Amino acid sequence: MMFSRRILVLLVALACSCAPNKSASPAMPYGVRVVLSATQAATLAAKLANDECERLYKRRPFVPEQYEAGFAEGLYHWGYLDVGAPAGLSAEVWFKPDGSDPHVNVWFSTDAIPPTGRDGPPGRPQPR
């Protein structure tokens, strides 16, 4: 009887020591990192691009389907500098497979020359 009680105590102790860390995400055991799917990566990238675009230009034009999320050299990559993008806004986002360490670039491109006055652009010799 004493021997089986010791085994029971040992099994309970082992089970408690193998329980996941409660401070970690409840869905994932401690130390396990989630790898995003390409669809999840595109969704995250569009959100990050929209957050940065809103900060810079007060607009949120990007959708996940706008660019394909590719995976190369250990990073997800979404978007590129697209000078012909609708409204002139394009973005490039890259991050680790779990979505951490994001880097975001947002660009506004236009081929319009801003007005500089009736005499033409600055730096150009003025007619006499």
Share of the chain above pLDDT 90, in %: 54
pLDDT of residue 86: 82
Cβ burial 74-112 (10 Å sphere, 16+ → b, else e): eebbbbeebeebeebbbbbbbbeeebeebebebbeeeee
**pLDDT exceeds 50 at position 24:** no
Please name the helix (run of DSSP H) or strand (run of DSSP E) that holds residue 70, with its range, or none: strand 70-72
pTM greater than the 0.85 cutoff: no
pLDDT in tens, 53-64: 999 999 999 999
Residue ranges per structural domain of the chain: 38-108
pLDDT in tens, 70-112: 999 999 999 999 988 889 999 999 999 999 999 999 999 987 7
